[in-house]
Amino acid sequence: MNNNFVYRSSIFKLPEKFLPPTKRRKVQLYKASLLEPLSKNDVAHTKDTLVDTISTQKEQIVAMKPCTDYENTTSPRAPTKSFEVTSQTSVPQSILASSWQEGSCQDKKTEEDSMEKLDINKNREGHSSPFSSAGLEDVSKDKQMESDTSSGEIPSGKLENVEIVSHNLDELKEEVRVQLQGLFRVGVIVPEDFDERAFQFLAWLPPNRAVEALRDLSERNFSNVKKRKAFVMSVLRQHAPSDSQWSSPSKKQETTHETKVPIVVPPSALAHLPPRVADSLQQVFASGVCHPSKFDDRAMEVLVSLDEMDAVQALKEFANVDPSTVRNPSAFWMGIARRYQIRAKKTSSHSSTAAIPSHENLVHSRKMTKTAGMSEWQRTVTEQYSGFSGKSPQSGFSPSYDRWETNRKKPPCEDGRIVTEYIEELTRRNILAPGALDEKVVESLKRIPEDSALTVLREVEHLDQRRIRNISAFVTGLIRKVSNSDNFNQRLKSPTNLVDNLEPRVKQRYLSLFSRGSDTEDKKGGGLDDRALEALSNLRPELSLQVLDELSTFDMEHTRNISMIAMGIMKKVTHRDNQERRNLNMNYR
């Protein structure tokens, strides 16, 4: 026997929308067989679905045929048990009421057992039908329908709510409509998965793309999808044309309706604002970009905190915005207002730094030497110090311009303002990312002389930073390089004869080694460099002599960097001496 419509009671305890798709389909087929009237094509109308009942009726007839044949052949009639599904609507008795006969055949016993289980469940639930109509309504009507149909029966006057025709399919093209109805009929998707937006989007799509989207839906797996409506909409959007953009017609109508109606706020509500600011705010409300109810307290506080001129300019900018591009007017206004607040803070900081104390003007007067010349700078310094006691021009004060010219190296600036401004300029030009240089590197730049720091920053400016992973480490290396070159230049200005510091035997051996070919000595810088000579003088005399003996085996004329070779020999000799000492200590133990 076909038991397609015999269900366990545990399934009926769940609303229809929580059932799996296959079982939900079976429940819809059974409900469709109980509804009337049928259309010409034997299609029953339910909430958001069209169900073909021809297959359902055929299955019922096939299921009842063996029972009726057996009833006609047997002479004595056994007591019968009837199972009736009643409703308050007029439904054909051939479908609603059917007698199930008992017999000696095994199929008859199976039918009886299943019917007894349904009768028991029916008595437990208070003679109620095992169907719940909670799954036939929208999400907004679930609670109401569950309260009305908690007993499982369709109450009087509620049948018209169940027999609501699905979405208007006439808006779709013929091939799209046929494809969609085929998906509903097969049960791959149910009409509940299509909301109004999905139908509007499907009608907006070209027919070929709409058919492709529906075919794509038929191949998707909905078993693990929680939000089926959103999933359907996302699949449909994947087949939208790339050169066009779709927007919901309902939203367009709402926005156009809002912009057409000018809104005027009573002047008493804006009495706490200056007149010009209040008029500008009225223009914002009249433009439709922001409704007065959406201009919340935070937006008003920001407006009050602005200056009058900034507030008027910000409100004019807000009023000229296209209303269709604004989703949250209050947040949009906050963004505009904060931009004006930042601008006001910058102008106030520049105005405060313009009034510099008199003792700092000397630092700025040094910059004037590059443009105005020495006489202008001296005149400025004289004017600055003429008013101080004991600092008159006749008291022996002389500017330090000569010291700057002779040294040609500015000492580090106390506050590092020039370095900071240069770094900010590089950040403003997007050469450096904000915070790319850490505080340690910035402090190192401020400690070195100003010219050296500017040299490092100029080199950073012309670098290809895509090839640099850690810019702070790279700048630290540049600082060390510049510092070492400064020390080397300083040693050149005040040279010290390191050869005289050598031990007499080492000195004699060194001079005898480098006295040959004095011409090449002069070309190569006079033998070993200062670093190698310092390392040689720090060794013990016997080790220094070993180094010079090994160095004498090299060809001085054809050697590029004799100092590097000497450093390598000193390292090898030192390592060998340490190893010998370690072995001696082990022998004594």
Query: What's the chain's average pLDDT?
Result: 66
Residue 328 lies in a domain: yes
Answer yes or no: do 560 and 444 share one domain.
no
pLDDT: which is higher, 148 or 19: 19
Share of the chain above pLDDT 90, in %: 0
**Rounded CA gap, 444 and 475, in Å?**
10
Q: What is the pTM of this model?
A: 0.25
Answer yes or no: do 546 and 566 share one domain.
yes
Does the pLDDT value for residue 72 go beyond 80?
no
68 Cα distance to chain centroid: 69
Which residues does 493 contact at the CB level (< 8 Å), separation at least 6? none
- Closest by Cα among 329, 277, 282, 333 to 304: 277
Does the pLDDT value for residue 258 go beyond 80?
no
Does the pLDDT value for residue 385 go beyond 70?
no
Answer yes or no: do 350 and 362 share one domain.
no
Encode pLDDT of 145-201 as tens digits.
444 444 433 344 333 333 333 456 767 888 888 888 888 888 778 888 888 888 888
Residue 179 lies in a domain: yes
DSSP state string for 49-103: EEEE-HHHHHHHHHHHHHHHHHHHH-SSPPP-EEEE---SS---HHHHEEEE---
Q: Looking at residue 291, what is its pLDDT?
A: 87
Last residue of a domain, one of 194, 217, 246: 246
Residue 242 carries which DSSP code?
T
pLDDT: which is higher, 103 or 31: 31
Residue 423 lies in a domain: yes
Answer yes or no: do 151 and 211 share one domain.
no
DSSP state string for 210-226: HHHHHHHHHTS--TT-S
Residue 86 carries which DSSP code?
-
Residue 574 lies in a domain: yes
Answer yes or no: do 314 and 379 share one domain.
no
Encode pLDDT of 524-579 as tens digits.
445 788 888 888 888 888 898 989 888 888 887 777 788 888 888 998 888 888 88
Q: Which residues pair with 46 in a beta bridge?
A: 49
Answer yes or no: do 476 and 503 share one domain.
no
Q: Taking residues 123-152, what's their average pLDDT?
A: 43
Residue 377 lies in a domain: yes
329: helix, strand or coil? helix
Q: Looking at residue 116, what is its pLDDT?
A: 54
Last residue of a domain, one of 339, 374, 407: 407
Answer yes or no: do 34 and 80 share one domain.
yes
Encode pLDDT of 410-422 as tens digits.
444 445 778 888 8
Answer yes or no: do 13 and 144 share one domain.
yes
Q: What is the dihedral of CA 506, 512, 517, 522, to 10 degrees?
A: 40
Answer yes or no: do 387 and 505 share one domain.
no
Answer yes or no: do 158 and 278 share one domain.
no
List the domain range (segments joined by +) for residue 549: 498-588
Residue 577 lies in a domain: yes
CA atoms within a 13 Å half-sphere pointing along the CA-CB vector of 492: 7
Q: Taking residues 339-344, what's their average pLDDT?
A: 84
Q: Taking residues 512-533, what's their average pLDDT?
A: 63
Confidence of residue 249 (pLDDT cuts 50, 70, 90): low
Pairing of strands 81-84, 43-46: unpaired
Answer yes or no: do 274 and 350 share one domain.
yes
- Closest by Cα among 168, 165, 158 to 133: 158
Give the number of domains in the chain: 6
Last residue of a domain, one of 344, 376, 407: 407
Residue 256 lies in a domain: no
Residue 412 lies in a domain: no
Answer yes or no: do 203 and 182 share one domain.
yes
Share of the chain above pLDDT 70, in %: 54
pLDDT: which is higher, 288 or 126: 288
